[in-house]
Amino acid sequence: MNSSLTHRYVDVNGVRLHIAEQGEGPLVLLLHGWPESWYSWRHQFGALAAAGYRVVAPDQRGYARSVQPSDVASYTLLHLVGDMIALIEELGEDQAILVGHDWGAPVAWTAAMLRPDKVRAVAGLSVPPILPGGMLPPSITRTQYGEGFYQVYFQQPGVVDAELAKDIPDSFRRILVGASGDNPDSTEPRPLVIPDGMGLLDTMPESPALPAWLTEEDIQVYAEDYALHGERAFTGAFNWYRNIERNNELLAPFRGRRIDVPALYMVGERDMVTSLSGPGGLASLTALVPRLQEPVVLPGCGHWTQQERPAEVNAALLDFLARIDGLPPR
């Protein structure tokens, strides 16, 4: 079995993506969120590869070592799902299991909804399935939370991009600690609303110490990869947010469509996303995803599930994968 982690570039769907891969067997694609990269799955590669899976984690378009298209409209969910379907085929596979965290979850959920012939199972971490557009559009969230709601704030071209690019390591340090379960202010999750006259990082003061799951070396890996894009280090990532409204328009024909493949949902107890749940919360998910396993809620965990709680996430994923492949639960 190929047990070493390797890196390479692939051309898919009109973009060049960097991928990290390890192992042999059924294909599992790990899709990172904002503002992350393949590295957010560093604790999952070995465990899944050892269990007999081919594990591939791309830097998705606009992120880290991958190409950053200049056109904002090149970051719709249809583009992002298209990248993953093309990647499955480029890897020489007919199907894959998709596991997505944060923004990677809407990509995974949407791919499972649109292409069940290619996605044989799906797992979402943090962000639940919000069909068909992946997230509620700013035209709705602006009314609910105001102009300072982070997804609305991110719509301003160049503003938050420049804020985060000014000191990339500091930005990662503040964001990763600020949205974690180790932030004392995260014990009661609430929507992130940026006060008038402040920036995103002003809501996340610098921590005097890093939590046990995060090191300065981790921050440096993220920072070095993002720095490859210079002053546009975060622009590709923010362009995903700038297509939320467009996603809902483009995917309107699929309203009412469900996800009919086996599915798993995991979320941290202290994840801000839990404060944004729609009517019915977790109990309502089975209407959209009939084959959903019992959701996994990680006590004390914040937004960065697979980084904050790697052992628990790995155990849940391995149990889920075993059930899909007809093996005894782990």
Q: Among 17, 241, 270, 37, which Cα is nearest to 138's?
A: 241
Amino acid at 291: R
In contact, 27 and 88? CB cutoff 8 Å: yes
In contact, 40 and 307? CB cutoff 8 Å: yes
Distance, in Å, from the CA atom of 267 to the CA atom of 21, rounded to the nearest integer, reads 25
Instruction: Please state, in angstroms and as integers, the Cα–Cα distance from residue 87 to each residue in 61, 95, 133, 237, following that order.
Output: 12, 10, 22, 19
Q: What is the pLDDT of residue 300?
A: 96
Q: What is the pLDDT of residue 188?
A: 86
How confident is the model over 198-222, as pLDDT tens digits? Answer: 999 999 988 889 999 999 999 999 9
Residue of 79, 101, 229, 303 marked catalytic: 303
Q: What is the pLDDT of residue 1?
A: 38
Tally DSSP H helices, then E strands, for the chain.
Answer: 13, 8
Q: What is the pLDDT of residue 328?
A: 58
Helices of type H across the chain: 45-50, 77-90, 104-114, 138-145, 150-153, 159-165, 168-178, 216-226, 235-241, 244-250, 285-288, 305-308, 310-324
Domain ranges of the chain: 6-324
Distance, in Å, from the CA atom of 42 to the CA atom of 225, rounded to the nearest integer, reads 15
- pTM for the model stands at 0.96
Decide if 185 is catalytic.
no
Residue of 59, 102, 161, 225 marked catalytic: 102
How confident is the model over 24-55, as pLDDT tens digits? Answer: 999 999 999 999 999 999 999 999 999 999 99
Decide if 303 is catalytic.
yes
Q: Tokens for 16, please give them.
A: 């060049």
Q: What is the pLDDT of residue 175?
A: 97
Q: What is the pLDDT of residue 284?
A: 82
**31: phi then psi, degrees, rounded to nearest 5:** -110, 115
Q: Among 249, 264, 237, which Cα is nearest to 134's?
A: 249
What stretches in the chain show pLDDT beneath 70? 1-3, 277-281, 327-330
In contact, 42 and 313? CB cutoff 8 Å: no
Q: What is the pLDDT of residue 249?
A: 97
Q: What is the pLDDT of residue 2?
A: 47
What is the topology classification, in CATH, of domain 6-324?
Answer: Rossmann fold (3.40.50)
DSSP string, 58-88: E--TTSTTS---S-GGGGSHHHHHHHHHHHH
